[in-house]
Amino acid sequence: MAQENITFTLPDLGEGLVEATVLEWQVAVGDVIERNAPLVEVETTKSAVVIPSPQAGRVAELHAEEDQVVPVGEPLVTFTVETSDDAPQAGIVGRVPTEEARPARRVRLKPPTD
């Protein structure tokens, strides 16, 4: 079974906020957490919030210490995720080549309007 590291950056918290201060991690390195479980408590100039985990996985690295200011888009946490590419896909007999199993994202290209 293969493993993959996925890094999650501080999401855009809206309202023009450009950074947040880490108040308290709700997880520690080595923890296995579910998607949407509490991940980290941060504070902006507007409010304090708890950011839920964007995915399930094992916490491999926390990129900010408590009281540290993190700019939006900077790394926050790295997860190690099991990738079971040998396992049969649900409802499908046999194996589906990975390229076909993952539909390519369609992107519409548009010239800039200004």
Question: How crowded is residue 70: how many other Cβ atoms within 10 Å of its Cβ?
Answer: 19
58 in contact with other proteins (CB under 8 A): no
CA distances from 113 to 57, 87, 108 (A): 41, 46, 14
19 or 41: CB nearest other proteins: 41
Q: Which stretch binds other proteins (CB under 8 A): 47-55, 79-87, 90-98, 99-107?
A: 47-55
- The answer to whether residue 82 forms part of the interface with other proteins (CB under 8 A) is no
Q: Is there binding between residue 46 and other proteins (CB under 8 A)? A: yes
In the DSSP assignment, the letter for residue 88 is P
| Interface with other proteins, residue 34, by CB under 8 A | yes
Of 4, 6, 13, the C-alpha closest to 73 is: 13
Element (DSSP H or E) covering residue 80: strand 75-83
CB of 13 to other proteins, least distance (A): 10
Q: Which residues bind other proteins (CB under 8 A)?
A: 15, 23-24, 26, 34, 36-38, 41, 43, 45-50, 52
